[in-house]
Amino acid sequence: MSLYEKIKNKQEKISLVGLGYVGMPIAVAFARKAEVIGFDTNKEKIDLYKKGIDPTKEVGDEAIKETTVDFTSDETRLQEAKFHIVAVPTPVRADHTPDLTPLESASRTVGRNLTKGSIVVFESTVYPGVTEEVCVPILEEASGLKYGVDFKVGYSPERINPGDKVHRLETIVKVVSGMDAETLDEVAKVYELVVDAGVHRAESIKVAEAAKVIENSQRDINIAFMNELSIIFNKLDIDTKAVLEAAGTKWNFLNFSPGLVGGHCIGVDPYYLTYKAEQMGYHSQIILSGRKINDDMGKYVVENVVKNLIKADVPVKEANVAILGFTFKENMPDTRNTRVIDIVHELEEYGIKPMIVDPQADAKEAEREYGIHFHSLEDISEMDAVVIAVGHEEFSHFTQDDFDKMFKGQKNENKVLIDLKGILNRKEYEAAGYRYWRL
């Protein structure tokens, strides 16, 4: 009987290593069809899951309460599983080089508890070659087992879009790969248990790794193009959003918008590809150019905040500025690699200490990662400028009266309103006399 059949018949277990925004939804999905062990080194997170609390808000508290996932921070429990899925983050360092530390650590953990006949599938985004050249040697060393004989390896890049309730694991075609034809077949069949959209069998692990890393690189380049257009159109005094709405009437115009590019995928993955390219003697032209544009957007935004404060006759160093939103994306708590922090730091360069409000963000994470302390919305008053940095649903319901309460009692033309996501009606606020600006 194959490993797939044993998993299907609940004779063997699946383990999920890394229960964050990607791993946890995968664990919950598989638990509907198989026996699943959910492992994470973060005991605090495991305790929340055991209590039926979803700190990621990806599947919701109810789903966590109902799931049969066996949550644990005891790595020896991994010995009970034969099919291991590793879904840990792959960030970059300050110098934009890949930081494989979480992936290497997870590989050692799995290796220490690996048993003969197991398959290990990696989901983390990496440059081509990492699975076989970095992870496999660690698995062999930690386990004492032989690759290809005692255990097999596959790669299936995660495609979960955090915060997206439409495009989920079950509804997105899953790319799968294996070290050989037999492993590929086993991996494909296991994922087909939960992926209703089906799987695409890549011809090799490196092909699957490359496919993933270019998906986000492509999005990054397209957003960089929009950001560059925004810079140009602002100089021409043309509303970028209006231009994109007009151009979007053509059937093949790509629907992208300008904005801050953060998170643990789009703002990170291109650096993995360009790092590998450099190793092979090729210096990226397009990819790194797009990265530079996107990485500089925080500075560009603050330059325009300052320009508008000056036009409003507000002394820059004494200005009161509020930032609404701190997460890297709307309607979710994840603050990892948020580029709103760039706005904070740039404002501080001008002597401005902004007040930050985010009803969705993980406050503990923001304090731990950035030293940021959030204020409540009620604290926001007597402001000279308000920056809507993230398009949370709460902010989209704000009326002009709501914004009036945030500002000093002065003429509207001295109230600087920066709407990065374009969630407000520009004409309405300009007609009311606000000094309104958006990307």
Q: Which of the following is catalytic: 187, 265, 323, 388?
A: 265
Please answer whether residues 196 and 89 qualify as being in contact, where contact means their C-beta atoms are separated by less than 8 angstroms. Answer: no
Element (H, E) at 118: strand 118-122
Helices (H), 254-383: 269-279, 286-295, 297-311, 340-349, 363-370
- Look at residue 421 and give its three-state secondary structure: coil
Helices (H), 385-433: 393-396, 400-406, 426-431
Please answer whether residues 223 and 256 qualify as being in contact, where contact means their C-beta atoms are separated by less than 8 angstroms. Answer: yes
Compute the half-sphere exposure of residue 367: CA atoms within 13 Å on the CB side of its CA: 6
Active site residue 265: yes
Alpha-carbon span 81 to 158, nearest angstrom = 21
Chain-centroid distance, C-alpha 83: 26
Alpha-carbon span 436 to 284, nearest angstrom = 37
Short-list 67, 64, 37, 35, CA closest to 49 = 64
Alpha-carbon span 395 to 116, nearest angstrom = 53
The torsion angle over the Cα atoms of residues 242, 248, 253 and 259, rounded to 10 degrees, is: 40
Burial 352-373 (b: 16+ CB within 10 A, else e): bebbbbbebbbeebbeeebebe
Helices (H), 177-296: 181-192, 205-235, 240-247, 269-279, 286-295
Short-list 12, 183, 152, CA closest to 81 = 12
Under DSSP, the state recorded for 112 is H
**Torsion sign, CA atoms 130, 132, 137, 143:** positive
- Say how many C-beta atoms besides its own lie within 10 A of residue 237's C-beta: 6
Would you name the residues annotated as active-site residues?
265
